[in-house]
Structure 1
């Protein structure tokens, strides 16, 4: 698999995403449903945004690794949140995780009126191998 990042500018680097990712000769593609802070028993978290974001990251990583993929090969990450302001208050946690795995992904952040039950953040990914 061959990945190429397309960044005509530099300003997005501070925001931990890229403008586009081209993938050639991919062996397989994994489309990951939106992951949230739902525990193994299926209970939605009632915690604050920071705690939910950490639980969501953990769940996303679990699905990716269980499927036999690597987080470093995430090429698209959509972020849904009920509060952009609260999400940006803990954005450094997401940035640290992206940096830990050397993830360079195309990304969109969307504020939505609501998510399932008590959830405040959801991460949806496309991963290649």
Structure 2
């Protein structure tokens, strides 16, 4: 699989993502449901702690990717939903740490929402991955 970044402007690179990517030669695509800060039984964790929720949501995303024989380097698109965008952005270094180690800056969208499906959750991340 070959990925070519498309960045007519460079401001998004400073925030850790490409404006777009051309994906060529991919043979498999994985569409992940939104991952949140829940344990293996679906119970919310880290209530009131955005940083903890982001970390666990990323851990859960990694587990789902692993189940398909992929990892964060295969992610080609992220959709992120947060009940407090400012607080999420203050903790976006977690995304940079996780995706930076695999040298991946997938296109992403961050959307502020009034609530998520499970009360107490503040952060949800969905992903598309290709291999």
- With normalisation by structure 2, the TM-score equals 0.94
CA–CA separation in structure 1 for the residues paired with 2:49 and 2:97:
19
Note if 1:35 corresponds to 2:54.
no
Q: 3-state SS of the aligned residue for 2:18?
A: coil
CA–CA separation in structure 2 for the residues paired with 1:71 and 1:22:
17
CA–CA separation in structure 1 for the residues paired with 2:60 and 2:54:
10
1:85 maps to 86
1:62 maps to 63
1:125 maps to 127
Note if 1:21 corresponds to 2:21.
yes
Structure 2 gaps of 5+ residues are: none
Q: Which runs of 4+ in 1 moved over 4 A?
A: none
- With normalisation by structure 1, the TM-score equals 0.95
2:11 maps to 11
Q: 3-state SS of the aligned residue for 1:93?
A: helix
RMSD of the TM alignment (CA)?
1.0
